[in-house]
Structure 1
Amino acid sequence: MKKKIDVILKKDVEKLGLFGEIKKVAAGFARNYLIPKGYALYLKDPRAKAILKEKEKIQQKIAQEIEQLKKLAQRLEEITLALEVRTDEKGKLFGSVKPKEVVEKLAQEHKIQLEAKQLEMEPIKTIEEAPTICEIGVRLGQGIAARLKLQLHPLIKKENPASKEPKKRKQKDNNQKETETETKTSQKKK
């Protein structure tokens, strides 16, 4: 039977535990690997108390961060962000609404700073009716998420049947070209 001892982890160790956790491990594993590599300390080591205090401070910071994220999530739930988009008569957008545009509008109107990668959305390319309301998932971190409402108002650009016809270029007839070249050569001679 292997002898087990208690160690406190100084760092996160894959498949073993996180910083500050107290674990029972084989004495040889602790003595030959964890302690020499700086991953752990014996629980009886005087420095172990400092690690426990540091863990408590980190947990307090995380608790404060979670509170702030919950408040932000509640604030995001109450917001309906309005965006005007150019569309044709069928509801197809000229371009698309991307997460970056939503984040910029949110920062501009509500002073909330997010990154585009925090939004759970695909680029929006069409809208069915006017105005369209979409719900976008927002991952804030620490397992906290929120739903943001995005209201799209179309600015319809009507297609002009005349604009579909190819434009005719004005062509100069040969007489005009010859006259122009003669004028240029006579000006050079002077």
Structure 2
Amino acid sequence: MKVILLQDVKSLGKKGDIVEVSEGYARNMLLKKGLGKEATGQNMNDLKLQKANAEKIAREILEAAQALAKEMEGKSIRVAVKTGEGGRVFGSVSSKEIAEEIKKQLGYDVDKKKIQIDNPIRALGVTNVAIKLHAKVTAEIAVKVVEL
């Protein structure tokens, strides 16, 4: 019997997969527990439409991330920090501070977890910081650290 999986089932398949199982397993396990539904013509069409819709949404999200990356590319922000003798920065510039300044100065709402800082920013000057907008899209922005 062919069954469309509604959830991931260990050792059988992932959500949306069409699998061939014995009739007893399908009726007593998969259908009874709501883990799958019978692969009828109507259910197959529904699955095809759901997959097409999911692909369309994923494509739109990717295009939006690419457009935002193009807008952000080449822009810079200023972060003012306290300094001591000789221009040494107290502490370092955090991703939270960078996210706040991006929102204030450029108007983009960026999650601090998406800002990727390789080494802590502990000196005055310009540092390029990567912002991961999507799994496939990364934008780069210049952070100018200036004395307060």
Query: TM-score, normalization: structure 1?
Result: 0.64
Does residue 147 of the first structure (1) align with residue 143 of the second (2)? no
What corresponds to 1:171 in structure 2? none
Does residue 38 of the first structure (1) align with residue 34 of the second (2)? yes
Partners of 1:29 and 1:92 lie apart in 2 by: 69
Contact 1:138 1:148 in 2 (8 A): yes
Deviation at 1:82, TM superposition (A): 1.9
Contact 2:92 2:121 in 1 (8 A): yes
RMSD after superposition: 2.6
- Count the aligned residue pairs: 146
Give structure 1 stretches of 5+ with no counterpart.
Answer: 156-190
Higher RCO (C-alpha under 8 Å, 6+ residues apart): 2
What corresponds to 1:55 in structure 2? 51
Whichever residue aligns with residue 138 of structure 2, its letter is: A
Partners of 1:32 and 1:135 lie apart in 2 by: 58
Partners of 1:114 and 1:145 lie apart in 2 by: 12
What corresponds to 1:135 in structure 2? 128
Q: Identify if the C-alpha distance between structure 1 residues 144 and 40 changes in structure 2 by more than 3 Å, giving closer, same or farther.
A: farther
Moved >6 Å (runs of 4+): none
Q: Identify if the C-alpha distance between structure 1 residues 59 and 125 changes in structure 2 by more than 3 Å, giving closer, same or farther.
A: closer
What corresponds to 1:87 in structure 2? 83
Partners of 1:98 and 1:86 lie apart in 2 by: 13
Contact 1:8 1:43 in 2 (8 A): yes
Partners of 2:25 and 2:144 lie apart in 1 by: 58
Q: Identify if the C-alpha distance between structure 1 residues 38 and 70 changes in structure 2 by more than 3 Å, giving closer, same or farther.
A: same
Structure with the higher fraction of residues in strand conformation? 1
Mean Cα deviation higher: 135-144 or 59-68: 135-144
Give structure 2 stretches of 5+ with no counterpart.
Answer: none
Query: Which of structures 1 and 2 has the bigger CA Rg?
Result: 1
Q: Identify if the C-alpha distance between structure 1 residues 124 and 91 changes in structure 2 by more than 3 Å, giving closer, same or farther.
A: farther
Does residue 77 of the first structure (1) align with residue 73 of the second (2)? yes
Whichever residue aligns with residue 134 of structure 1, its letter is: T
What corresponds to 1:97 in structure 2? 93
Whichever residue aligns with residue 113 of structure 1, its letter is: D
SS in structure 2 of the partner of residue 78 of structure 1: coil
Whichever residue aligns with residue 14 of structure 2, its letter is: G
Partners of 2:25 and 2:135 lie apart in 1 by: 32
Query: TM-score, normalization: structure 2?
Result: 0.79
Partners of 1:105 and 1:49 lie apart in 2 by: 48
Partners of 1:30 and 1:80 lie apart in 2 by: 58
Residue of structure 1 aligned with 2:62, choices 63, 66, 71: 66
Identity of aligned residues (%): 23
